Chains A and B, each alone.
Chain A
Amino acid sequence: MKRRDFFKQASLASTALFLPKFVSGFNLIDSAVATGKKLVIIQLSGGNDGLNTVVPFRNDIYYKKRTSLAQQKSNLIEITDEIGFHESLIAHSNLYNNGELCVINNVGYPNPNRSHFRATDIWHTGSDANEYLQSGWIGRYLDVTKSKSLDALEVDDSLSLLLKGELTDGIATKNPQLFFRTTHDPYFKNVVSHYDDAHLSEHNLGYLYKTMVTATSSAKYIYETSKTYTTKTSYPKNEFSNQLKQVAQFINSGLQTKVYYTSLGGFDTHANQINKQKRLLKIYDGAMAAFIKDLKAQDTFKDTLVLTFSEFGRRVQQNAANGTDHGTANQVFLIGNQLKKQGFYNPMADLSNLDNNGDLKYDVDFREIYTSVLNNWLEVDAKKVLSKSFTGLNIV
């Protein structure tokens, strides 16, 4: 028996000891899926300027509309004859060259919303622009697959809409040790252990106790499993790198969790964009480089797909403060070594055909990407999760 398997079994046994009877039939761990595919979702929060991230350096309109912000060819990492990556995206250009990156350009949806909150909700829920859903697409993935809370983890202290289902919610934790300590306070242990199942069943009180047991036993499982792995990869010293390091630790320790979510914020660059975006993309790219190296060292990269999005792109025309305002469509990055489509999935946005606001008109609906990821990577019927039918793209 491997060390980490031993721990898993041991922790299960000790958890079961103090479980009340009514939850003992409730299996926390699905041993069958422990080696399955992993999805890591990253949000560049605040609205990353996609046009300065993947740059059409031969496009005159681009230079005309971005008089002080346009990236010069000499500053870019040249990818094709017409397209360059932002100078910070060193790891991404290597991934591109290795066939481990797929760039989907101009992703959006009809009647785009330009509020951070609303646009984030739309991306998290997979709704139409005029539809208000109360659950996220990952949360509904948990529902449809009858998965457990710990099958979707957010590396943060509170849970985003993305991971909230109709029946099951994912779990948020930034620090498994802390989470474990909080949930294993002697008082809770006592409360849980003194419980019997006389009047529970479907009653709200039963629901509360079940949720409490889910939290305590998940915290224990996450902590005890993840501490069996210590990375040898060195990560840059910043919070976002720590979060990806945490995700790598979860994956490499063999945690059963299937979906991870984390975000990097600060992309709302209304003023003095150049330096801010450069620094942020460097943090994003550097963390990703270490993360992938870490996964490759443990041979877990082959089972991992990374999806990076931002709630919207930014206006084509720059503003007077050397920044950009909220826009619409943007690129999505997919990273993995099982990609069916490598490099660019589709051409860059047409800058000569903008909407009334001077924003991009999208080419690919973001839910086409969700559909492919659900159907082909997570192997669940996307229609059941999204409640709408999309054909999907041939990308994974």
Chain B
Amino acid sequence: MTLQEIVHLYNRVGFGISPSKAKELQSQSRAKIVAQLFEASRNPAPLEIDLSELRTTLRGVKMKERKKIRALFKESAKKIHELNKTWLYKLSDTEQLLVEKMTLFWANHFVCDDKNIVHFQQYQNTLRKHALGNFKDFVIAISKEATMMKYLNTRQNKKQKPNENFARELMELFTLGRDRYSEKDIKEAARAFTGWNHDLMGNFLLHRRRHDYGEKTFLGKTGNFNGEDIIEIILQQKQCAQFVCEKIYRYFVNDQLNATHVNEMITVFYKEYDIGKLMRFVLTSDWFYDTKNIGTKIKSPIEFLIGMHRVVPMQFEKERELIYLQKLLGQHLLFPPNVAGWKGGRSWINPNTMMLRLRLPSVLLAKGEIALDEKGEFEDDFQRFNNKRNRQRKLHVTADWKVFLSNHVNNTAQELQETLIVSPLNRGTKEYLEKLAGQDLPQYCIQLMSLPEYQLC
């Protein structure tokens, strides 16, 4: 593979690649490099923080002990921030790039949030477990997650009083897309999911008395369907394969769909619904490496942050600052804006986030200053909310340039540029960069990262 193709592949399934690693891979074939990516992702390491204490308390607690429960909730909310941080650091040093990138994709497909850390952590790892597996198993597993059943009110869905929220989103957001079913289909599907619930620890259970065992007619089929049957029937629709393939194409290949490519993907995906097989097809196809697909996607804030971090490792002293940063950039992991998730693409960029992105390399890596006052939280009391000052500040971040220097000891400025920037460079910018190339490598690196071109991958 050419250097550019290798960088492209690693940008899309990971967060970039170092010049030396890219050079090392150059002698290998596309199939082999892709096979290695799959091999590395075979047994995904779970995203985990220590919850043993919380679990023990949770087992002992009774519903009547309101004070204890409230304290538990508070502790749990704190732990969500810890999980957020652990996830970010996991992304920055994982070798299991493909499965982690897929997990990010699915987390924005099966969108949920949860204040219960025990349930939410389990949810995150169900995403990992199925990220490259079978889509049908995935949909069934995710539908039975406590986090999902709370988020979309499956728990409140009873034979006596059905709640349609989950049935609607299952079709609209997870499998078919809007307007591919009738309101009647939603009602019938909701009946099939009645009685689904979970215990305190987040295990699935079926309340038989709340489940509707009667006959349902759904998408033209009639029977005594349960939830699994409904999912099976949805997946028989080719539209479902199309819906998922289009979303994967937009995320991994190009914002603009190409009907021929997507149709090839559907042929591979339908009816087996093997996600790994689909991804292998995409990543080994010639069109994935078309120049019009290289360097054209706007990085998500997480791709942007993690990408920098993988070049120059950073240590955040204050957890809070890492949270602001995600909020200001517009993507706070584990805190999606709504059930539809982040819209992505150009919606990441407005005048404020653009300037922030361009400033950030110097703020994070060269102790630059930035106006970074946090918006008040609703729950904050007045003092905290109003204690915002109009000033620049430095972040409490330490950049480890030693790691950068030892990783790039044999690299020229040109080589660094070829791995950091894949978008075509405009002539004027190129000339400008040539003037800067005499600087030391860390300085040059910061300048490359401050270019609009660096926002693309």
Contact = CB atoms under 8 A, between A and B. Distances in A.
Same complex origin of A and B: yes
Interface of A: 45-47, 116-118, 121, 132, 134, 149, 156-161, 164, 169-172, 174-175, 178-179, 182-183, 185, 187-188, 190-191, 194-196, 198-199, 203-205, 207-209, 211-212, 214-216, 218, 238-240, 242, 264-266, 268, 276, 279-280
B378 A45 contact: yes
Contact of A212 (B298, B347, B355, B426): B355
A195 B349 CA distance: 19
Nearest to A240: B386
A178 B450 contact: no
Give chain B's interface residue range (CB within 8 Å of chain A). 35 or more
Contacts of B349: 207-208, 211
A172 B350 CA distance: 10
B429 interface: yes
A66 B359 CA distance: 51
22 contacts: A121-B337, A134-B337, A149-B350, A156-B373, A157-B328, A158-B327, A159-B350, A159-B353, A169-B350, A182-B359, A191-B452, A195-B426, A204-B296, A205-B423, A208-B298, A208-B349, A211-B354, A215-B351, A215-B352, A218-B351, A239-B388, A265-B380
B350 A209 contact: no
Given A157-B371, A157-B372, A159-B350, A132 B340 contact: yes
Given A212-B354, A215-B352, A268-B379, A205 B456 contact: yes
B316 interface: no
A157 B350 CA distance: 13
Interface in B433-453: 447, 450-453
Interface of B: 255, 296-298, 327-328, 337-340, 343, 345-347, 349-355, 358-359, 362, 370-382, 385-392, 423-424, 426-429, 431-432, 447, 450-453, 455-456
A279 B355 contact: no
Contacts of A116: 378-379
A45 B376 contact: yes
A364 B354 CA distance: 39
A265 B452 CA distance: 35
Contact of A175 (B390, B424, B427, B431): B390
A164 B350 contact: yes
The 7 closest A-B pairs by CB, nearest first: A266-B382, A169-B350, A215-B351, A265-B385, A116-B378, A194-B428, A265-B376
A211 B357 CA distance: 12
Contacts of B427: 196, 198
A239 B38 CA distance: 53
A199 B424 contact: yes
Contacts of B351: 149, 169, 171, 211, 214-215, 218
B101 to A, nearest CB: 20
A149 B391 CA distance: 23
Given A204-B346, A218-B351, A194 B375 contact: no
A239 B378 CA distance: 17
A196 B389 CA distance: 38
Contacts of A240: 386
A266 B350 contact: no
B294 to A, nearest CB: 12
A203 B337 CA distance: 27
B350 A121 contact: no
B380 A174 contact: no
B371 A179 contact: yes
Contacts of B373: 156-157, 174
B354 A195 contact: no
Contact of B358 (A160, A188, A218): A188
Contacts of A195: 426, 428-429
A168 to B, nearest CB: 9
B354 A215 contact: yes
A254 to B, nearest CB: 21
B386 A191 contact: no
Contact of B452 (A118, A160, A212): A212
Given A194-B428, A195-B429, A268-B378, A211 B390 contact: no
A178 B391 CA distance: 7
A313 B323 CA distance: 29
A234 B151 CA distance: 49
A190 B450 CA distance: 12
Given A169-B350, A208-B298, A182 B432 contact: no
A266 B370 contact: no
B347 A205 contact: no
A88 to B, nearest CB: 14
Contacts of B353: 159
Given A191-B452, A265-B386, 20 more contacts: A45-B376, A47-B378, A157-B328, A157-B352, A164-B347, A170-B350, A178-B371, A178-B392, A179-B371, A187-B362, A198-B427, A204-B297, A205-B423, A208-B452, A209-B452, A212-B355, A212-B452, A215-B351, A266-B386, A276-B382
Residue with the greatest number of chain A CB neighbours at <10 A, chosen from B346, B375, B455: B375
Contacts of B296: 203-205
A175 B199 CA distance: 51
Residue with the greatest number of chain B CB neighbours at <10 A, chosen from A47, A169, A172, A205: A205
A134 B328 contact: no
A239 B447 CA distance: 36
B111 to A, nearest CB: 10
B376 A196 contact: no
Contact of B450 (A187, A242, A264, A266): A187
Given A158-B327, A211-B351, A242-B390, A134 B424 contact: no
Contacts of B450: 187-188, 191
